[in-house]
Amino acid sequence: MTGRARARSRGRARGQETGPPGVPPTEEAGREALPEAGDLVGRGRQRTAPGAIAKEGLLQISAGFAQVKIGERGGRRRDFHDAGINTRQAMEHVKDSKSGVSGSPIELRANYFRILSRPQWVLYQYHVDFNPPMESRRLRSALLFQHDETLGTARTFDGAILFLPRRLHNTETVLLSETRHGEKVQITVTLTNELPPTSPVCLQFYNIIFRRVLRMLNMQQIGRHYYSPRFTTTILQYESSIMLSMDVSHKVLRSETVLSVMSRLRKECAPQHFPEACTKELVGLIVLTKYNNKTYRIDDIAWDHTPSNTFKRGDTEISFKNYYKTQYGLDITDVNQVLLISNVRRRVPAGVPPPGPALLVPELCYFTGLTDRMRSDFNIMKDLSSHTRLTPEQREGRLNRFINNIHKNTEAQTELNTWGLNFDNKLVPIQARVLPAERILQGSKMFEYNPWTADWSKEMRGSPLIKSRPLENWLLFCTRRNCDVVVILPSNRKDKYDCVKKYLCVDCPTPSQCVVARTLSRPQALMTIATKIALQMNCKMGGELWSVEIPLKHLMVVGIDCYHDSAAGKRSIGALVASLNMGMSRWFSKCVMQDRGQEIMDGLKVALQEALKTWLKYNNCLPARIIMYRDGVGDGMLHSVVNYEVPQILDCIKALGQDYMPKLSVVVVKKRISSRFFARIDGKLSNPPPGTVIDTEVTRPEWYDFFIISQAVRLGSVSPTHYNVVFDSNGLRPDHMQRLTYKLCHMYYNWQGIIRVPAPCQYAHKLAFLVGQSIHRTPSMHLDDFLYYL
């Protein structure tokens, strides 16, 4: 992590304008798309005193704030790009219905509230021109809003575009205003669009209105998100209506400042080693600035800058110390502390130079997240989980409390009623289905398992595996004090592990198994641990453990994931893992290194062709069907997958020969979602059983998508996985696609149970993570047929 951020900081252009957060080089940069009337200029930094959560005295770990996300993950404007992609219309077999029918029905409730609006509700969009032109956005807003009697009080204006809930009498309306200096200004308001409630722009507008409601509920903004004691939201168009998705999310804040850590390091290190130790400790971490509740990544340290240095603000020079005193009323006590650099990325208008990095004062920066020491502390993690791992009953209670607060808040209701909007007061009911439990095939034995249990390790005990590899030529490395156990590493030091893996994956390609001595220090669990290590070693040498029934013949499933190299300036690493046999128990794995900004599929085309050729070697034919699960797709990336990656995959397949035309499906897998589902079982609100499929009501009408809950969890609420079929020439019925996806969640050999995603996705993730974290080079091709990265 520190290496990645350090590499990023080296790429910072020299001579860029720098300044503290709150002094943007370009006033227009990074503006909210549809800001409310009277909103602040520039980057929206707060001009008031710090809120309650920004004051001194934060707890060491605080889980008392929960995230409210606007849009699909944090309200970024790019998230709405996904909303305009209609992939379902090209699939004839799901145009009429994308819902399956197999399985037993189950009644669920989802963390969604319907948004209510007036019948035929329309949002009117106007373009606003000023003559003479006015450069200041605040001045434009002030001049326009002199005409409340014409425009009304319900409006949203971003300096050029005006949104109103009603239509003005004329298509073009001319208004006259006057500045404080007596200058006459003519304002022309022209109707440009009438937006229905389902319009992507209208959806974004709903979120802007909801921002105002959140502020009325006294929620605090941290970074892009709003925090209150409990909740997170998303407003989007779903199957039958526009709904508010709401969930509970937490952000961990610490009372430790960056300055206190730097002071500790100064005492512990020799003076000549302090800069190196400080850089290694801090670069790459995320901090919260106490004066505006925004988060920043530390990219570098400005060793030649202190709070006494000055920067240009407008036409005058001001020191950092005086700036924070006059702007926020904050006193900087240590004038000798060096400043931190954060390479703030902002969208700016065309022709405007990008903003320079922000300079942060360590004394005013709090750490976020947990340290490794905290994560290894059982008591801290136990206390934290009591706040964050909510049962379905607790989660529903907090969601209902939040929506009730909206209904009871007079100011919030007035704002919503002005626009003719409101929210339903109950969770959305859903009809779902539970798929039948899968039968596990292991050697000559077939057994069923209880899906509510954590795994099937007891059922498989004592039975032969599908294929066991002989352990004939092997070496055991250990330290002298650990010579009585099978172990390589005396501790979990990353550098030692990386060294071993790099040598045995690149220089001397050999399957290897690393074990930490502490793992084997519990005699009562030694047999279980040794069994799991033996299974893992067997897989790495090409062995096969178990399988499930796969009715489709000549099918190859592929998993793709990506990772950003921690030591190569965010260089992308693409991993492709493909099945090689009918039982999905043998796998081909390939990892490619990508330049920063390069599309993942550019490098993986060759990997896919190699996977197809390896399939041909094992089966004497090419697969008739290919189903590709694409993981690692973030918000706003769906357009790239549909319009770039899918054509690249088709071209790659065609390159094998004109006569080869397999049927292809591409499925985007998404784990970072806020959707949650609850079932009433035995009179109590509980998690739905594993195998639950949701393909109605809360799915998107323009997509062929569904949710699957594949796991059983002991604590908290289970997280579903969202699947979006963006291309499909296989023509499989929704039932078959859903059943196959659930079956593949049973095929991950590093866990004797069901995992959250299909096995090829998890294998691809493990491979990309190993290369990005430890190897930093392309593994040897001699290991392509082995699961050496488990």
Distances from the Cα of 240 to the Cα of 114, 152, 426, 430, 751, angstroms: 10, 31, 16, 12, 39
| Single pTM value for the model | 0.79
pLDDT score recorded for residue 559: 96
Residue 416 has pLDDT above 90, yes or no: no
Asked which of 208-222, 333-347, 408-422, 700-714 is least confident by mean pLDDT, the reply is 208-222
pLDDT score recorded for residue 81: 52
Residue 591 CA to residue 490 CA, distance in Å, equals: 29
Mark out the alpha helices in 477-546 (DSSP H runs): 494-502, 526-540
Mean local confidence (pLDDT), 576-603: 85
Per DSSP, the three-state class of 7 is: helix
* Residue 315: CATH number of its domain: 2.170.260.10
Residue 447 has pLDDT above 50, yes or no: yes
Q: How far is CA 45 from the centre of its chain?
A: 25
Mean local confidence (pLDDT), 410-422: 86
Whether 790 is in a domain gets the answer no
Kindly give, in sequence order, each residue whose CB lies less than 8 Å from that of residue 604, ignoring residues fewer than 6 positions away: 560, 574, 576, 590, 592
Instruction: Give me the residue label for tokens 């500045």.
Output: 179
Band of residue 23 on the pLDDT scale cut at 50, 70, 90: very low
- 10 Å Cβ neighbour count for 300? 20
To 5 degrees, how large is the angle CA 245–CA 247–CA 248? 160
pLDDT score recorded for residue 699: 94
Kindly give, in sequence order, each residue whose CB lies less than 8 Å from that of residue 118, ignoring residues fewer than 6 positions away: 420
Residue 733 has pLDDT above 60, yes or no: yes
pLDDT score recorded for residue 158: 78
pLDDT score recorded for residue 205: 80
Whether 138 is in a domain gets the answer no
pLDDT score recorded for residue 39: 29
**Residue 325, domain extent:** 2-48+256-369
Long-range contacts of 593-597 (CB under 8 A, 24+ apart): 593/565, 593/568, 593/771, 593/777, 593/778, 594/562, 595/571, 596/569, 596/570, 596/571, 596/572
Whether 594 is in a domain gets the answer no
Joined together, the tokens standing for residue 539 give: 């897989």
Residue 483 CA to residue 479 CA, distance in Å, equals: 6
Mean local confidence (pLDDT), 703-716: 92
Whether 271 is in a domain gets the answer yes
Band of residue 76 on the pLDDT scale cut at 50, 70, 90: very low
3 state SS for 587-634: EEEEEEECCCCCCHHHHHHHHHHHHHHHHHHHHCCCCCEEEEEECCCC
Mean local confidence (pLDDT), 59-81: 37
Mean local confidence (pLDDT), 671-678: 91
Residue 704 has pLDDT above 50, yes or no: yes
Residue 58 has pLDDT above 50, yes or no: no
Active site residues per annotation = 561, 599, 631, 765
Q: Which of 369, 393, 420 is the last residue of a domain?
A: 369
Mean local confidence (pLDDT), 761-774: 92
Whether 516 is in a domain gets the answer yes
End-to-end CA distance of the chain: 22
Band of residue 13 on the pLDDT scale cut at 50, 70, 90: very low
Residue 41 has pLDDT above 60, yes or no: no
pLDDT score recorded for residue 116: 83
Instruction: Give me the residue label for tokens 């392509």.
Output: 784
Whether 512 is in a domain gets the answer yes
Tens of pLDDT, residue by residue over 144-195, are 988 888 888 888 887 888 988 888 999 999 999 988 888 899 999 999 999 8
Tens of pLDDT, residue by residue over 676-685, are 999 998 888 9
Q: Hey, CA dihedral for 199, 734, 708, 638, is it positive or negative? A: negative
Burial classification of residue 469, based on how many CB atoms lie within 10 Å of its CB (0-12 exposed, 13-18 middle, 19 or more buried): middle
Asked which of 412-421, 461-470, 475-484, 616-625 is least confident by mean pLDDT, the reply is 475-484
Identity of residue 476: L
pLDDT score recorded for residue 598: 64
- As a whole number, the mean pLDDT across the chain is 80
Residue 563 has pLDDT above 90, yes or no: no
Same domain, 267 and 362: yes
Residues above pLDDT 70, as percent of the chain: 83
Tens of pLDDT, residue by residue over 297-315, are 898 999 999 999 988 877 7
Band of residue 453 on the pLDDT scale cut at 50, 70, 90: confident
pLDDT score recorded for residue 27: 29
Same domain, 363 and 463: no
Identity of residue 77: R
Q: Which of 659-663, 672-676, 735-739 has the highest mean pLDDT?
A: 735-739
Q: Which of 335, 369, 403 is the last residue of a domain?
A: 369
Band of residue 94 on the pLDDT scale cut at 50, 70, 90: very high
Domain count across the chain: 2
Residue that wins the pLDDT comparison between 336 and 477: 336
Residue 8 has pLDDT above 80, yes or no: no
Q: Which of 524, 540, 556 is the last residue of a domain?
A: 540
Whether 125 is in a domain gets the answer no
Whether 525 is in a domain gets the answer yes
Q: Which of 189-203, 534-548, 594-608 has the highest mean pLDDT?
A: 534-548
Residue 326 has pLDDT above 70, yes or no: yes
Asked which of 164-178, 210-224, 318-332 is least confident by mean pLDDT, the reply is 210-224
Instruction: Check: CB of residue 644 under 8 Å from CB of residue 651.
Output: no
pLDDT score recorded for residue 351: 54
Instruction: Check: CB of residue 67 under 8 Å from CB of residue 232.
Output: yes
Residue 61 has pLDDT above 60, yes or no: no
Residue 125 has pLDDT above 60, yes or no: yes
Kindly give, in sequence order, each residue whose CB lies less than 8 Å from that of residue 375, ignoring residues fewer than 6 positions away: 381
Of 67, 80, 68, residue with least CA distance to 33: 80
Q: How far is CA 56 from the centre of its chain?
A: 30
Mean local confidence (pLDDT), 382-392: 78
Band of residue 688 on the pLDDT scale cut at 50, 70, 90: very high
Structure letter (DSSP) for residue 100: -
Same domain, 469 and 364: no
Same domain, 361 and 457: no
Residue 459 has pLDDT above 60, yes or no: yes
Residue 26 CA to residue 713 CA, distance in Å, equals: 49
Mean local confidence (pLDDT), 48-66: 31
